[in-house]
Amino acid sequence: MELKKIKAWIWQGIIIIIIFALAFYCGYKKNQPPQSNPIDTVIVVDTVWYAVEVEKPIPYKVIVTDTVYIYDTIKFKVPVPADTSNILADYNRYFVYNDTLNYPDLNLILEEVIYNNRLDYRSVRYQNLRETKIIHNHLRGWYIGADITAMALKPEITYINRDWAYSVGFDVRFNQPNSLSIGLKKKVF
């Protein structure tokens, strides 16, 4: 039984040595950061159009011009360096956006200011395009009301026509004879 244990220990040791050898061979090194590519690259595909004019002589000195287009594709890698000063200058800049919305009777002007990639200010202005009309309120018509005091109750009917008011009322006094009242008033202000 001891011989079987010794063979098992030998096979386990050989397998561990093979695993460590493969790990070292594949690039694993202790206490070393992984390698990275310091510059990211962007592949840009660009299409360039060339216009070539070709002159074809024809007898009797007549020249005909023909245009030939050549289609060409160029692939190249562009390094993208990070320019911190440009990024900060763009971040700390004010961007003003204006938008005008036109309606038949109204123009709305929207203004928004962006600062540090946030909305800093917003305003809305308007222009009224409708013709302005002055409306005169003359309060024409019939009115029914009453004056109530500690000593009397006076129901009243009033008619108002532009600057004049005509009223008829009945004065009901407590413990005194009743009377009829007629009023005529002129608008001053």
Cα–Cα distance measured from residue 54 to residue 70, given in angstroms and rounded to the nearest whole number: 13
Position 147 scores a pLDDT of 79
Mean pLDDT for each consecutive 10-residue tract of the chain (189 residues)?
81 88 66 54 65 65 68 71 81 92 91 92 90 75 81 84 85 74 81
Cα–Cα distance measured from residue 21 to residue 30, given in angstroms and rounded to the nearest whole number: 13
Burial of 66 (0-12, 13-18, 19+ CB in 10 A): exposed
- The residue with tokens 């510059």 is 39
Position 41 scores a pLDDT of 59
Cα–Cα distance measured from residue 164 to residue 184, given in angstroms and rounded to the nearest whole number: 7
- The residue with tokens 């204006």 is 98
Helix ranges (H only) for the chain are 2-25, 84-91
